[in-house]
A and B are shown apart, each in its own frame.
Chain A
């Protein structure tokens, strides 16, 4: 168990904006030894045995919830999944009351996904358990940002100096925000590209490059992180049609072929094939989309381990099965 030293990440993981570059590197470094566990025949270590974790999902999610659940189970934690459907939330219970009830059951950690920006912080300020933000509204999705960083680092062996362009609906994307903070803190050059109606009006103050044309972004970038375009954005009048979006901003093989270098392609999923990304690109040789999914489990194991008080230098030992 941890000694008297302050836990390296603090109590919660709410976003990448409040973290230092050292803390982010620590999580990525801690994830490295955990990668191997998922490659074993018996994918389980006793690191979090006896810890109880609630996965509190107020928004539908398949891959993030499953990824967290695998990370928890491979660390031997006891987990409970609470989805907004069928829980007291549907009966009109407030988030405060939900939090207090969880606290009363003496749980150790909460992984929360919620449609409101700030919901994870709201919960974290009201319970003593560790809180991990699994996506809050249009604010942050820190573990997604971390797994994107890990995937980039795996491929390029560095983040500093890398040119990464985030493509699409930056305005409504928590993935974009976590990526911007994480990449900038680790020294990457960050750009965004998308219709201006889907970029924050104050984008210039975020100190990122802005490309209006995807062709220019492709010419500039080492890697593209292609965001999912939600169908609702069209219904809300932000863009005229998915068809035109694909024609103007779609990441296609033809566009990538004109790039001066090979460009790594990331996508947080789930993909709209033929809208923001063409199938040839998603399934192509420079796509690391499935590596992202694999890394997601390792990064989440690292976050769970560090927040539970695990010492980073002992991650290797923890992997082998000794105590945390």
Chain B
């Protein structure tokens, strides 16, 4: 369904599509000229950290939802590793209320797998889903117990939600600050081997096979993980997987000079890993590109590398990074990118949007795939400035973001 034409929005729904669409006798229709641009179903980020409640100094649901809008995301899923943890229906309801008040991108809460993300007892999935949670995850912390993961996969089936796992074998990853390899050896930083991720990825795939539950593997970073996901998918396992823009575009070399804005978990890997991830996006092994948007206060990043927190902001650069590294290099085409950033996320997390078909929610992103711009973190809507792309020239610019037929972001030129 790629064509030149018009999209007619009536109220909060897509009314019709086509060339010179018939708006009937109405004369009160707003016309937005998108000539030369692409009108896409709104992007959906299934993985971000909005820090509220607990760290409102580094991000709030409102600033995060506005940053999302500026990045072309009509909806984002907020991870539950807040303080307190989103592990009950009241906490889920709080996020929904704050998001409604912000009137920017939609924010879907993800509930915790375990109470307090402590890895012991299951949180109340049923009540959280009833309050609006769309998935469960202990993201930020690995689910160390295979028994807990198995139970979560089984229990989540009841409610038709995915279990999103942060794959990290904790004893192998302990104390690690970057990828284990030649750069970590030279810089004298403790490395995290690829196997820390892969061991948990295959554990989760095997448990999904055993239980029939839906496991969604977060921020995959290694060549080996790609092979394991492929193995699972070939056998019909209910596994989906995401990569982040930084893992497909940057490598461990970005850490040189102890750059704390290149510190995240999982860490930036080798060039061979990044290449395998890009290829996996192309061949469909990877379903979704998600940001893992993780704002931090500049004081927290302005310190010794080993002590700096993991994570970078991503909402406002994700689309352009994806265009620059995937589309501009002709590895994938634009419809494939839209699939990874909108259609697949909507399908996998069973969310509204992801399509412009008649009768669907009018969640729309308008972008120019060829426009170049320079990343200036001081202009971010996010409170976070921690990006490794500062000063980078990127291709692909979001012009307009629409949610429920309402413009929530318009690029000022």
Decide if A138 touches B188 in the complex (CB within 8 Å): yes
Chain B residue nearest to A204 in the complex (CB): B182
| B304 and A118 contacting across the interface, CB-CB below 8 Å | yes
Q: Is the CB of A202 within 8 A of B184?
A: yes
Judged by a CB distance under 8 angstroms, whether B17 is at the interface is no
Task: Look across to chain A and name the residue whose beta carbon is closest to the beta carbon of B193.
Answer: A201
Residue-wise interface mask of B (169-209) relative to A, using a CB-CB cutoff of 8 A (1 in contact, 0 not)? 00000000000111011111111010000000000000000
- Whether the pair A94, B303 counts as a contact (CB closer than 8 A) is yes
- Name B229-258 residues within 8 Å CB distance of A: 257-258
Contact of B186 among A114, A177, A201 (CB under 8 A): A177
Q: Which of A95, A136, A201, A205 contacts B188 (CB 8 A)?
A: A136
Known: A94-B299, A117-B258, A118-B258. A205 touches B185 (CB 8 A): yes
Interface size on A, residues (CB 8 A): 24
B300 to chain A, nearest CB (A): 10
Partner of A17, one of B186, B189, B303: B186
CA distance A17 to B257 in the complex (A): 12
B258 contacts A122, CB within 8 Å? yes
Contact flag A121-B188 (CB < 8 Å), given A95-B303, A116-B305: no
Q: For the complex, give the distance between the alpha carbons of A201 and B192 in Å.
A: 11
Say whether A139 contacts B193, CB under 8 Å.
no
173-215 of chain A: CB within 8 A of chain B: 174, 177, 200-203, 205-206
Contacts of A116 in B (CB 8 A): 304-307
What 0/1 pattern do residues 331 to 367 of B give for CB contact below 8 A with A? Answer: 0000000000000000000000000000000000000
Most B C-beta atoms less than 10 A away, residue of A118, A201, A205:
A118
* A96 close to chain B: CB less than 8 A: yes
Is A119 in contact with chain B by the CB < 8 A criterion? yes
Q: A177: which of B180, B188, B193 is its contact (CB, 8 Å)?
A: B188
Q: With A116-B307, A117-B306 given, is the CB distance from A205 to B187 under 8 Å?
A: no
Interface presence of A12 (CB below 8 A): no
**B191 CB, min distance to chain A CBs, angstroms:** 7
Q: A96-B303, A119-B304 are in contact. Are A202 and B188 (CB under 8 A)?
A: no
Please give me the residue from chain A that is nearest to B255 by CB atom. Answer: A118
Q: Are B185 and A118 in contact (CB under 8 A)?
A: no
- The answer to whether B257 and A121 touch across the interface, beta carbons within 8 angstroms, is yes
CB <8 Å contact, B187 and A206: no
Which residues of the partner chain B approach A122 to less than 8 Å between Cβ atoms? 258, 303-305
Most chain A C-beta atoms within 10 Å of own C-beta, residue among B189, B190, B191, B258:
B258
Enumerate 25 A-B pairs (CB-CB under 8 Å) in ascending A order. Answer: A17-B186, A95-B304, A114-B304, A116-B305, A118-B189, A118-B258, A118-B305, A118-B306, A119-B304, A122-B303, A122-B304, A122-B305, A137-B188, A137-B306, A138-B188, A174-B188, A177-B188, A200-B185, A201-B191, A202-B180, A202-B182, A202-B184, A202-B185, A203-B185, A206-B185
Given A118-B304, A201-B180, 5 extra CB contacts under 8 A: A116-B305, A116-B307, A137-B188, A137-B189, A138-B189
9 A-B pairs closest in CB distance: A139-B188, A118-B258, A116-B304, A200-B185, A138-B188, A117-B188, A205-B182, A202-B182, A202-B185
